[in-house]
Amino acid sequence: MRVIIKPDYENVSVWAAQYIANRINKFAPTSDHPFVLGLPTGSTPLGVYRELIKMYQQNKVSFANVITFNMDEYVGLPADHPQSYHYFMFENFFNHIDIKKENIHILNGMAKDIEKECADYEKSILACGGIELFLGGIGEDGHIAFNEPFSSLSSRTRIKTLTSDTIKVNSRFFNNDITQVPTTAMTVGVGTIMDAREVMILANGNKKAKAVYQGIEGAISHKWTITALQNHKHGIIVCDDAAASLLAPETIKYFKDIER
């Protein structure tokens, strides 16, 4: 695993955006050979999206031959609901870059047959040749996508019940009213994420320090689904000093030395 420790959120965002743009540019995607990118929502990736938009405007990267798959979507929210992940992605990223609408994949929260929706999502990922790079955030309880504690580490796309803690944390987007937050979501599984050829997880702030500690120094366990990353051949955690603050000093020294 690579661990990149930056002083603050700004530097985390800039590093991650440059990394993603470089990966796309090196891949030199074409319509026959597109770059498949997995994407998250949440507060954490906002800085990366802002930086990628800037790089697109400066002609440093194009998304014309990029296919995206989002991690998750609330069940019961239509695409035009301001708190749906559809809405979030278009507002914060897709409306500002040259991605083709037909290349965007987000689970449909209003699907009548949720099981089929999830199975079809897995099939479309495979049909596109698998995900090249999956970008993600991390929950305070170590969840990746909506894979809450004790999700199977080989799980696939499915519906999950959100924990009360996640509902509480996410209620900040719903006028702090927990009754407005959907209680279930469709999410890619831990196994779906781990099938990507590379996985990059972002974390910033003290609130994420425990999850980062477990992800890097904890034993692999379904209790902290982030720990599955330890088994990935190309896993990267990009975090700021605050999120790294519970790591042992020698762990921080090791990663700062090797990534100098």
Residue nearest to ligand PGA (CB): 42
Asked if 162 touches ligand PGA (CB under 6 A), the answer is no
The number of residues that bind ligand PGA (CB under 6 A) is 7
Interface stretch with ligand PGA, choices 42-50, 113-121, 155-163, 178-186 (CB under 6 A): 42-50
Residue 143 catalytic? yes
Which two structure tokens, joined as six digits, stand for 177? 């009213």
We find the least distance from the C-beta atom of residue 102 to ligand PGA, in angstroms, to be 27
Residue 10 catalytic? no
Q: Give the three-state DSSP class for 250.
A: helix
| Annotated catalytic residue, options 72, 117, 132, 240 | 72
We find the least distance from the C-beta atom of residue 169 to ligand PGA, in angstroms, to be 7
Residue 140 catalytic? no
Which two structure tokens, joined as six digits, stand for 158? 């499915």
Residue 86 catalytic? no
Rule CB under 6 A: choose which of 42, 47, 182, 215 binds ligand PGA: 42
Asked if 137 touches ligand PGA (CB under 6 A), the answer is yes
Using alpha carbons only, give the angle 77, 153, 252 rounded to the nearest 5 degrees.
Answer: 100
DSSP symbol at 163: P
**200 near 163, Cβ under 8 Å?**
no
Nearer Cβ to ligand PGA (13/103): 13
Asked if 225 touches ligand PGA (CB under 6 A), the answer is no
Q: How far apart are CA 197 and CA 210, in angstroms?
A: 26
**CB within 8 A of 164, min separation 6: which ones?**
none
Asked if 68 touches ligand PGA (CB under 6 A), the answer is no
Q: How far apart are CA 134 and CA 234, in angstroms?
A: 11
The per-residue b/e assignment along 208-226, b for 16 or more CB within 10 angstroms, e otherwise, is bbbbbbbbbebeeebebbb
We find the least distance from the C-beta atom of residue 179 to ligand PGA, in angstroms, to be 20
Interface stretch with ligand PGA, choices 12-20, 36-44, 78-86, 250-258 (CB under 6 A): 36-44
> Could you report how far apart the first and last alpha carbons of the chain are, in Å?
15
Asked if 138 touches ligand PGA (CB under 6 A), the answer is yes
**187 near 76, Cβ under 8 Å?**
no
Q: Give the three-state DSSP class for 76.
A: coil
We find the least distance from the C-beta atom of residue 17 to ligand PGA, in angstroms, to be 15
Q: Which residues are catalytic?
A: 72, 141, 143, 148
Binding positions for ligand PGA, rule: CB under 6 A: 42-44, 137-139, 143
